[in-house]
């Protein structure tokens, strides 16, 4: 990574840690549950940064004797654990907010809560602006995501500031609980997004259709050298893609020629989609024709579509 980007990423973690500590302490001290909820949201950002760091280190470990496909799913597994923690937390916040609402407990020190939220807006907003600038200069997507996070949190802090100001002026104590409930819903939703992504990986979802189209396009450019391509399977684990397919070649083609063709196709796919493992199973035309319909139903391109039987 660019050195500027690395420094900015460290700053992002440091600022998030500062905001987390500040908001949790001030929220508990002042008795404002909405401030506590905002602190929890910052804590979750911090946890995400930590798990991303662990996942990148663990998930990118090369394949070994027991894990032939690498360790990419470790990342998805961590995301599920993280989501469970997020759901429990959002439930606890909602419960606390309900109880505070029902007992009509007041915010004890509104000025402390207000000052904390104002600082959160300023510190978070300025850091986000700086991160956006560095992300634009270095092209770092991870940094851009960090910047969006901080920006969204600063926005939430601004909303809470306004709500607490209304509470201070009008004495409507329920505003604090209402804000905390809204945050609890947002926190729950962020857990859901994590799980949806992780489940797609854990259940071996196919690659997005744009990427499958890229693979089919590459096969098309080699189509003059084989008779039929079928049974294409794609999936993703961590940051690696896995692609395998069957290729029907003329009986007279030598193993040497078939291998050269496969290597050329594999190289083209890897060039278009980096971090891809491609496996091609070669079949001679006569054997393919004897196999019957099963393989032909998964036709990709070439001769021998099902209708031609």
Per CB under 5 A, residues contacting Zn ion are 246, 295
Name the minimum Å distance from CB 279 to Zn ion.
10
Residue nearest to Zn ion (CB): 246
Distance CA 294, CA 137 (A): 53
- Residue 37 vs 248, nearer CB to Zn ion: 248
Q: Which residues of 204-215 are buried (b: 16+ CB within 10 A; e: fewer)?
A: eeebeeebeeeb
- Residue 159 vs 302, nearer CB to Zn ion: 302
- Residue 100 vs 246, nearer CB to Zn ion: 246
Name the minimum Å distance from CB 72 to Zn ion.
23
Q: How far apart are the first and last CA of the chain?
A: 55
The full DSSP string for 99-151 is: HHHHHTPPPS-HHHHHHHHHHHHHHHHHHHHHHHHHHHHHT-HHHHHHHHHHH
Name the minimum Å distance from CB 88 to Zn ion.
48
- Residue 73 vs 246, nearer CB to Zn ion: 246
Name the minimum Å distance from CB 241 to Zn ion.
18
Distance CA 150, CA 28 (A): 22
- Residue 150 vs 262, nearer CB to Zn ion: 262
Phi/psi at 68 (nearest 5 deg)? Answer: -70, -20
Name the minimum Å distance from CB 243 to Zn ion.
15
């Amino acid at each position: 990574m660019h050195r500027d980007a690395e420094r900015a990423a460290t700053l992002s973690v440091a600022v998030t840690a500062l905001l987390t500590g500040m908001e949790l302490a001030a929220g508990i001290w002042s008795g404002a549950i909405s401030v506590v909820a905002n602190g929890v949201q910052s804590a979750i950002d911090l946890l995400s940064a930590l798990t991303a760091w662990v996942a990148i280190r663990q998930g990118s470990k090369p394949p070994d004797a027991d894990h032939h496909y690498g360790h990419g799913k470790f990342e998805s597994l961590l995301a599920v654990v993280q989501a469970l923690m997020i759901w429990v937390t959002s439930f606890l916040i909602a419960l606390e907010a309900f109880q505070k609402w029902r007992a009509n407990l007041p915010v004890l020190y509104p000025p402390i809560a207000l000052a904390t939220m104002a600082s959160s807006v300023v510190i978070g907003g300025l850091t986000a602006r700086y991160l956006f600038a560095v992300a634009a200069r270095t092209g770092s997507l991870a940094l851009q995501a960090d910047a969006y996070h901080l920006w969204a949190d600063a926005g939430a802090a601004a909303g809470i500031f306004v709500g607490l100001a209304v509470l201070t002026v009008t004495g409507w104590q329920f505003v604090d609980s209402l804000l905390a409930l809204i945050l609890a819903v947002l926190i729950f939703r962020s857990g859901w997004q994590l799980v949806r992504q992780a489940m797609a990986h854990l259940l071996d979802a196919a690659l997005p259709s744009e990427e499958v189209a890229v693979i089919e396009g590459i096969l098309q450019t080699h189509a003059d050298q084989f008779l039929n391509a079928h049974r294409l399977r794609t999936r993703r684990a961590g940051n690696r893609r896995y692609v395998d397919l069957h290729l029907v070649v003329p009986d007279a083609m030598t193993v040497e020629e078939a291998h050269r063709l496969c290597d050329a196709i594999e190289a083209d796919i890897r060039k278009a989609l980096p971090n891809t493992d491609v496996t091609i199973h070669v079949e001679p035309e006569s054997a393919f024709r004897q196999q019957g319909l099963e393989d032909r139903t998964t036709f990709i391109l070439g001769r021998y579509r099902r209708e031609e039987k």
